[in-house]
Amino acid sequence: MINKQYLLREFFALCDGGKCEDLLTEAEKRLIREQGVMFLTGVMQRADAENGNGRVYPRKTLEREVQNYQQIINEKRSVGELDHPEESVINLKNVSHLVTEIWWNGNDVMGKIRLLDTPTGRIAQDLIKNGVTLGISSRSLGSVTESRGKTVVEDDLQLICFDLVSEPSTKGAFMQLREAKQNKPISKSEKLHNILFDIVGLK
């Protein structure tokens, strides 16, 4: 039996102020100083850990998708949108940023994005300049199964992109994750049969 695929989103909070310059190269820091370019860095996704809604992304599956996404980065197609789109297709008119780098740090998928000089990219920059905290949302297609009270993402996972969203974040010089609880409990049935808007993290 083929499992139905659903749109899956996971959210992580960016570091304090939206920039973690310690993860930037000297050339990127120079672009910030001289041209006003804005980069955001931090945790993009996490493997083998139950998130706030009971979902687990197996390391092997996530490694494959990160490797596939690296090719998209190499082709400079690794764009994302500002806010929560409800579909799996990236809408180019809403593109706000370009993911320029992605790598592993333990079980954390780290990433670096460059805000673009587009209408939504400029909105994101203005929000950050005015103290608004932004977060990262991974958008993917995949099916899930229930196992021992946990929702495990299946091997058919397809990572689409990373979007910018507004979520509470833990204060700190580097990316820290914290959980923002759902307003009401979500049943296992709802997890499997609805488009999920999940807010996750670790305190």
Smallest CA-to-CA distance from 140 within 77, 93, 60, 198 is with 198
Distance of alpha carbon 186 from its chain centroid, rounded?
21
pLDDT digits (tens, 9 = 90+) for 104-149: 999 989 889 999 999 999 999 998 888 787 888 888 899 999 887 7
pLDDT digits (tens, 9 = 90+) for 25-84: 888 888 888 888 888 888 888 899 887 667 899 999 999 999 999 999 999 999 999 987
DSSP 82: B
Residues in the chain: 203
pLDDT digits (tens, 9 = 90+) for 79-91: 999 987 888 899 9
